[in-house]
Amino acid sequence: MQRLVILAPNWLGDAVMALPAIADVRRGLDGAHITVAARAAVAPLFQLVSEVNDTIVLGRGASLARVGSWAAIGSELRGRGFEAALLFPNSIHAALVARRAGIPERWGYGGGVRGQWLTRAVPRIRGGHQADDYRHLVAALGFGNGAREPRIRVGEAAQRAATELLRDAGWNGSMPLVALAPGAAYGGAKRWAPERFGELAAALAADGVAGVLVGSAADRAAAIDVADTFRARAGSAAPLHDLTGRTDLPALAGVLQRCRALVTNDSGAMHLAAAAGVPVTAVFGPTNEKATRPIGAAHAVIAHPVWCRPCMLRECPIDHRCMRGVEVGTVVDHARRLIR
């Protein structure tokens, strides 16, 4: 095997959780050229992954609203000499992309219609952690499993970019930092209240630790609410640095490595920080921490036990009790332990 393409998961957190499986494949195909094909939002992650030689950015998936998109399925991968495609997404679309690209070997979890488009279909075992789901797939394909924890390497360019962003935001270069990620891409139900993040930041500021708000442009409203509460509690002189919407993935990884810890919802930033070696305090509500918690002993997961969780809903249909029950003091205590 000389040329393999791996279709990456479509969400950042899932893509990070797939990294141990990618490392397993690299060990088994030492010397092969491994390309990752990923959506634009996820593709920059693989700049930080030494096991990957190249990255292809995939366009939007086909849809009924864009008739011409169906003719383009697989075009990004066609004619590149790939001998095999490893599919981490379990979608019909991913299998169709590999088949339409003319890749002779197509590997992934089978089941349903997509199974007919795979040359090696692995029966799926449900349950457990998402990272183990990916590792089981590659093990069934003959690639021995190695370390379970995802790892990325943050290069000098990303570290320099992170330092410049932090200094532009007012960091003095010496005050300890803790990253705060109040957003979550899946839906509002996953979000611990921004006001509570603000109270947390104020408590840590009293310890001499400055907060750094991180997230995408979509998290801007939450960041503003965090900052408003923080100023009301800590005063205008206390430092809170806002980098929301200002970082690409490599720079975000660099910023996270500058911090002593991250406090976050169940999010892509949570997994990115863990892969960068940063201790994480993660607040879980509607999602299942057994399936998506950050991997490793350095991290703390906080969940309030109520009968309705994990419901996996994007928005809470009742009173959001799973998140409202997580007290600020509990999160502060966990964060302090990790920062120390």
**Three-state DSSP class for residue 242:** strand
Residue ranges, the chain, pLDDT below 70? 60-72
Q: What is the pLDDT of residue 68?
A: 47
- The torsion angles phi and psi of 28, rounded to 5 degrees, stand at -75, -20
- Structure token digits, residue 144: 């021995």
Same fold, 3-140 and 156-339: yes
Q: What is the pLDDT of residue 64?
A: 40
Instruction: Cite the DSSP H helix spans in the chain.
Output: 12-17, 19-28, 92-100, 130-140, 156-168, 194-206, 220-234, 249-258, 268-275, 289-292, 321-324, 328-339
Question: Class of 156-339 per CATH?
Answer: alpha beta
- Structure token digits, residue 170: 């007012």
Q: Which fold has domain 3-140?
A: Rossmann fold (3.40.50)
Q: Which residue has the tokens 């169940």?
A: 266
Q: What is the pLDDT of residue 61?
A: 60
- Structure token digits, residue 314: 């994007």
- Chain Cα centroid distance, residue 11: 7
Structural domain boundaries in the chain: 3-140, 156-339
Q: Which residue has the tokens 């040359």?
A: 119
Beta bridge partners of 86: 6, 107
- Structure token digits, residue 94: 């991913």
**Residues listed for the chain:** 340
pLDDT digits (tens, 9 = 90+) for 68-125: 455 667 889 999 999 999 999 998 889 999 999 999 999 999 988 888 999 999 998 8
In 59-104, the DSSP E strands lie at 84-87
- Structure token digits, residue 336: 């302090």
- Structure token digits, residue 253: 């990884």
Residue 310, preceding bond cis, omega within 30 degrees?
A: yes
Q: What is the pLDDT of residue 238?
A: 85
Question: How far is CA 319 from each of CA 124, 308, 313, 323, rounded to the nearest angstrom?
Answer: 35, 11, 13, 9
- Chain Cα centroid distance, residue 291: 13
Helices and strands, number each (H, E), in the chain: 12, 12
Instruction: Give the whole-angstrom CA distance, residue 295 versus residue 289.
Output: 10
Instruction: Give the whole-angstrom CA distance, residue 329 versus residue 226.
Output: 16
Q: What is the CB-side half-sphere exposure of residue 291 using CA atoms within 13 A?
A: 11
Q: What is the pLDDT of residue 69?
A: 54
- Structure token digits, residue 71: 């003719």
Q: What is the pLDDT of residue 176?
A: 96
Q: Which residue has the tokens 């490599």?
A: 250
Q: Do the Cβ atoms of 55 and 35 come closer than 8 Å?
A: yes
- Structure token digits, residue 179: 């990253």
Instruction: Give the residue from 314, 321, 319, 282 showing the smallest Cα distance to 298.
Output: 282
Q: In what order do the strands lie in the sheet with 3-7?
A: 54-58, 33-39, 3-7, 84-87, 105-109, 120-122
- Structure token digits, residue 206: 């009293």
Q: Do the Cβ atoms of 314 and 189 come closer than 8 Å?
A: yes
Q: Do the Cβ atoms of 198 and 180 come closer than 8 Å?
A: no
Instruction: Give the whole-angstrom CA distance, residue 242 versus residue 166.
Output: 9
